[in-house]
Structure 1
Amino acid sequence: MTELPRKAAARTARLAALPLGYAGRQAMGLGKRLGGRPADAVLSEVQQRTAEQLFRTLGELKGGAMKFGQALSVLESALPEELAAPYREHLTALQDSAPPMPTATVRQQLTTHLGADWRTRLVWLDGAPTAAASIGQVHRGRWLDHTDGGGERDVAVKVQYPGAGEALMSDLRQIARVARGVAPVFPGIDIKPLVAELQARAADELDYTLEAEAQSAYAEAFADHPDIVVPGVVAVGGEVLVTEWMDSAHSLAHVIREGTQEERDHYGELFVRFLFEGPRRTGMLHADPHPGNFRVIPAPDGGLGRLGVLDFGAVARLPHGQLPEAMGRLIRIALDSDQDSLVAGLRAEGFIKERIEVDPAMLLTYLAPFVEPAAVERFAFTREWMREQFERINDPRAETFTLATKLNLPTSYLLIHRTWIGSLGLLSQLGSTVPFREILEESLPGFGDA
């Protein structure tokens, strides 16, 4: 067996073992309960060991496993506290780090995708990565501009792991098969649609040329923004993307762990402004809202800094060059508690199919996560609020759980919906209080006009 098939087989075996490990620890817990140990102590130990195996495996495997773990990490704030606590350390670790690729492999990738003469342009490359993620890692370097007077500038060199495409798709197929077994680790979070969406977007994320086009558009659109920074693209070739270097202190993952309330509010507001201004300025939605993609750029005077944005591999190219007008209009209608107009509008957009009847009052309750942040001048996002929303929607004992089975999510809203939910999760992890309503009025089509 050659090296690549051996590694692929090992990855598949480790992913397949995840639900078996969980089942084994449940059996272990049953035995301990029969032996007289308190049920809550046994549950905590089972959760801790499960978390350690699950997220260590996801982190080490990179590819689709890593991406799946990062997507789950944003939703950590929705888990009940007694379940979230054992996982939090492992979840948040996935937001900002991953094991590095060997230096020799990096140089081979540069030769393959930038050409054998890459050293004439990339005149210095740091051997240690500054960041590593699901399908690639980033190194700092210096780029010589032969066409611009021969000056040098600092750059970020993003290098895709060899075989990342094959590994990514293989992992996601395997995770889709074992999703049912992993699901008990995350009660209240529907794993299968999350994996399906990751599979659907995988090809775009592997295409660095497509990513370069999106990042260039964003960099140009935000070039004059006082608080948001998007690095420009310097060069792209196959599985290598070179962009301008951005001096950054740390990511939002650090603010989540250690930030002051002032920092949480400031960067949370900048994140929301970027989220909604992006479509208005570029016709695209940045659709990967995990904390590692958002960087804190220190202010020269030591005050609150700017927000840098990275990773444009996952973007939604919006059909009409903006977020759907109906989206803002329906949120406004829900705020006004106009039940009949809300049902009619959701039916027209395909959220409620023909011959399906719903309780309008219950529908308003179900839509609370999308409506409540816009109901007040400044909304305080908290882990407790996020957990309440998930419990209200996902608890089989709740009336709204039955309603969820009657609603449909149109294809055109899939990525928008996942981005919105992920963004609410990020804001809840941050614990930010932001002028959400004001931002929607400025940037969400249909909301300010309704």
Structure 2
Amino acid sequence: MSKDFPSSKFERGSRIAKTGLKVGTNYAKRYLRKKSGKENSDSDSDFHSENAKEVFKEFTNLRGTALKIAQGMSMDQGFLPEEFAEVMTQAQYSVPPINKALVRSIIKRELGAYPEQLFESFESEAFAAASIGQVHKAELKDGRKAAIKIQYPNVRENIDSDLGLAKILVKRIVKKGADIDPYFNEVKKTLLEETDYKNEGEQIELFRDRFGGLNIVMPEWIQEFSTDKVLCMTYMKGRHLGEFLKEDPDQKMRDHFGQLLWDFFHQQIQDMDYVHADTHPGNFLFTYDGKLGVIDFGCVKKFPKEFFMDYLRLLPTHLEDDKDAIRELYEKLNVINPNSDDPDDEERYFKFARNYGMTFAEPYKYESFDFGDEEYRNTIKYFTKDAPIGNEPRGSQHFLYTTRVHLGLYNLLMKMGARVNTTRSKEILSGMLDVDFGELVE
């Protein structure tokens, strides 16, 4: 087994526990210094960043579930100090690949032969490496170009132990007494699905059937060379967002791809089916013939209908600024606690969340909305960085993924500086919620 990839439960557990103990001790010492007046809040930012770097370094070496947790930490859920989230964003892309010999042995074990025997050609250097697997280019013997995703060793087998140890670490950081179990249970459920590559292959086919004929393209699942730990799919040409923006595309091109992303998001809502729940730049391609490529289907979610409809109802209630209806939905979705011991604190959070919701609803006020507007981007940035939550998780556990989808979409559109037409999206939502968006924004 590769020395640079600890895959046994004992070794992984020891390293996570050691990291957790070190970080926990750092926080405990700091708490005592603060109580004695020997340290002020001015040093908070550096302190959180240094501890986050310690966690990130170890989680990157561990990859797998540990790195997935780091990716989750990079999304603003109100769990963690913002400096933690800032450092953890690196988990989306700064992952070293495993060595070539290990790659060959995984393919031999899973597919029954070495890559040079199975494929016309196979590139031993991975062209993409993420939290639970890495991707290699290959050419099949029938001439098709393929992308082969290989899962790191023992990722699925270590989910329980990794999550258990990560929970201990997170409990040292979040507010004392906070109930984090529902969130970890949701993460576990999703990870079990993400580490089943056969399930991902089936999702690829499902999405191809749903969106075939639109300007959305997905790879084709090649079952012959796929198992639950190796995924073979056709290779898609295109560029990721960063490469696309380096080409300095004109506004028309930015708007074109932005509209495809916006419409893809709303079409998924209308279907009330599985939603692509990992909306970050690495999972989308901008093809050279003007289509939007979607290339990763590990994280897809089918939300409970009651939660999903309540989540959608937040939009018209915020557009109408119906405070009573907003409060009722917030209580139902566990965003605010009507029985809190600190009603003043709860009211402060209600006002913050309501204003945040109003900001998210803003694009639907117009027939066309410019996500490149600097003032709007600064407002979103303010809310995602300055939530007055005190390291306390809030809201249904399903917000872990609706936030990833929704905030991810807005971040993509803002980076693109895209202008989108909202007419069709409002028609979709009007039909689902039985509301007239024209009346709401007059």
Please tell me the TM-score bracket, short chain as reference.
Answer: 0.7 to 0.9
Give the distance between the partners of 2:197 and 2:103, measured in 1 at CA.
16
CA distance 1:45–1:171, shift in 2 (3 Å) = same
More displaced stretch, 122-131 vs 106-115: 106-115
The structural deviation recorded for 1:3 is 7.7
Q: Which AA in structure 1 matches 2:166?
A: I
**2:126 pairs with 124, 129, 152, which one?**
129
Give the distance between the partners of 2:133 and 2:422, measured in 1 at CA.
37
What is the 5 A alignment of 1:322-333?
324=308, 327-333=311-317
8 A Cα contact 2:123 2:138, kept in partner? yes
Q: Which AA in structure 2 matches 1:109?
A: I
Q: Per-residue CA shift, 1:86-112, capped at 9, x if unaligned?
A: 975x54432224121222222222222
- The aligned counterpart of 2:301 is 316
- The aligned counterpart of 2:105 is 108
Give the distance between the partners of 2:245 and 2:65, measured in 1 at CA.
24
Query: Which secondary structure does the structure 1 equivalent of 2:167 belong to?
Result: helix
Query: Which secondary structure does the structure 1 equivalent of 2:408 belong to?
Result: helix
The structural deviation recorded for 1:335 is 1.4
The structural deviation recorded for 1:174 is 1.4
**1:334 pairs with 318, 324, 346, which one?**
318
**1:241 pairs with 216, 231, 256, which one?**
231
Query: Which secondary structure does the structure 2 equivalent of 1:137 belong to?
Result: strand
Give the distance between the partners of 2:165 and 2:111, measured in 1 at CA.
32
CA distance 1:136–1:28, shift in 2 (3 Å) = farther
How many residue pairs align between the two structures? 411
- The aligned counterpart of 1:54 is 55
Q: Which AA in structure 1 matches 2:432?
A: G
- The aligned counterpart of 1:230 is 218
**1:4 pairs with 2, 8, 12, which one?**
8
CA distance 1:326–1:9, shift in 2 (3 Å) = closer
The structural deviation recorded for 1:50 is 3.1
TM-score by length of 2: 0.74
- The aligned counterpart of 2:286 is 296
Q: Per-residue CA shift, 1:210-268, capped at 9, x if unaligned?
A: 11111111123333222x3211111221211100101233x336678997794766554
More displaced stretch, 340-349 vs 233-242: 340-349
The structural deviation recorded for 1:165 is 0.9
Give the distance between the partners of 1:59 and 1:76, measured in 2 at CA.
21
Q: Which AA in structure 2 matches 1:57?
A: E
Q: Which AA in structure 1 matches 2:220?
A: G
8 A Cα contact 2:126 2:137, kept in partner? yes
The structural deviation recorded for 1:17 is 4.0
CA distance 1:117–1:420, shift in 2 (3 Å) = closer
TM-score by length of 1: 0.73
CA RMSD of aligned residues (A): 4.6
The structural deviation recorded for 1:126 is 0.7
Q: Per-residue CA shift, 1:41-99, capped at 9, x if unaligned?
A: x556545533432322222221122112222334499999xx65x975x5443222412
- The aligned counterpart of 1:160 is 151
- The aligned counterpart of 1:212 is 201
Give the distance between the partners of 2:134 and 2:219, measured in 1 at CA.
16
The structural deviation recorded for 1:365 is 4.0
Give the distance between the partners of 1:52 and 1:77, measured in 2 at CA.
19
- The aligned counterpart of 1:69 is 70
The structural deviation recorded for 1:143 is 1.5
Query: Which secondary structure does the structure 1 equivalent of 2:144 belong to?
Result: strand
**2:404 pairs with 416, 419, 425, which one?**
419
The structural deviation recorded for 1:132 is 1.1
The structural deviation recorded for 1:379 is 5.0
Query: Which secondary structure does the structure 2 equivalent of 1:166 belong to?
Result: coil
8 A Cα contact 1:287 1:419, kept in partner? yes
CA distance 1:100–1:364, shift in 2 (3 Å) = closer
Query: Which secondary structure does the structure 2 equivalent of 1:308 belong to?
Result: strand
Q: Which AA in structure 1 matches 2:119?
A: L
Query: Which secondary structure does the structure 1 equivalent of 2:139 belong to?
Result: strand
CA distance 1:213–1:167, shift in 2 (3 Å) = same
- The aligned counterpart of 2:440 is none
8 A Cα contact 1:208 1:240, kept in partner? yes
- The aligned counterpart of 1:148 is none
What is the 5 A alignment of 1:5-20?
5-17=9-21, 19-20=23-24
What is the 5 A alignment of 1:345-360?
none
Query: Which secondary structure does the structure 2 equivalent of 1:59 belong to?
Result: helix
Q: Per-residue CA shift, 1:267-316, capped at 9, x if unaligned?
A: 5443333222234458210111232222333x26xxxx543222211111
Name stretches of at least 5 consecutive residues in structure 1 with no aligned partner: 145-150
Give the distance between the partners of 1:318 and 1:248, measured in 2 at CA.
31
CA distance 1:268–1:336, shift in 2 (3 Å) = same
CA distance 1:69–1:350, shift in 2 (3 Å) = closer
8 A Cα contact 1:14 1:57, kept in partner? no
Name stretches of at least 5 consecutive residues in structure 2 with no aligned partner: 1-5, 437-442
The structural deviation recorded for 1:25 is 8.9
CA distance 1:437–1:393, shift in 2 (3 Å) = farther
Give the distance between the partners of 1:347 and 1:77, measured in 2 at CA.
17
8 A Cα contact 1:347 1:354, kept in partner? yes
8 A Cα contact 1:158 1:241, kept in partner? yes
Q: Which AA in structure 2 matches 1:160?
A: Q
Give the distance between the partners of 1:426 and 1:190, measured in 2 at CA.
29
**2:190 pairs with 198, 201, 204, which one?**
201
8 A Cα contact 2:371 2:419, kept in partner? yes
Give the distance between the partners of 2:249 and 2:28, measured in 1 at CA.
41
CA distance 1:448–1:112, shift in 2 (3 Å) = farther
8 A Cα contact 1:125 1:141, kept in partner? yes
What is the 5 A alignment of 1:366-445?
367-376=357-366, 377-380=368-371, 384-390=378-384, 394-395=388-389, 409=396, 413-414=398-399, 417-423=402-408, 426-427=411-412, 430=415, 432-435=417-420, 437-438=422-423, 440-444=425-429
8 A Cα contact 1:69 1:94, kept in partner? yes
Give the distance between the partners of 2:182 and 2:192, measured in 1 at CA.
17
Percent identity reads 25
The structural deviation recorded for 1:442 is 4.6
8 A Cα contact 2:78 2:389, kept in partner? no
8 A Cα contact 1:230 1:309, kept in partner? yes
CA distance 1:422–1:364, shift in 2 (3 Å) = closer
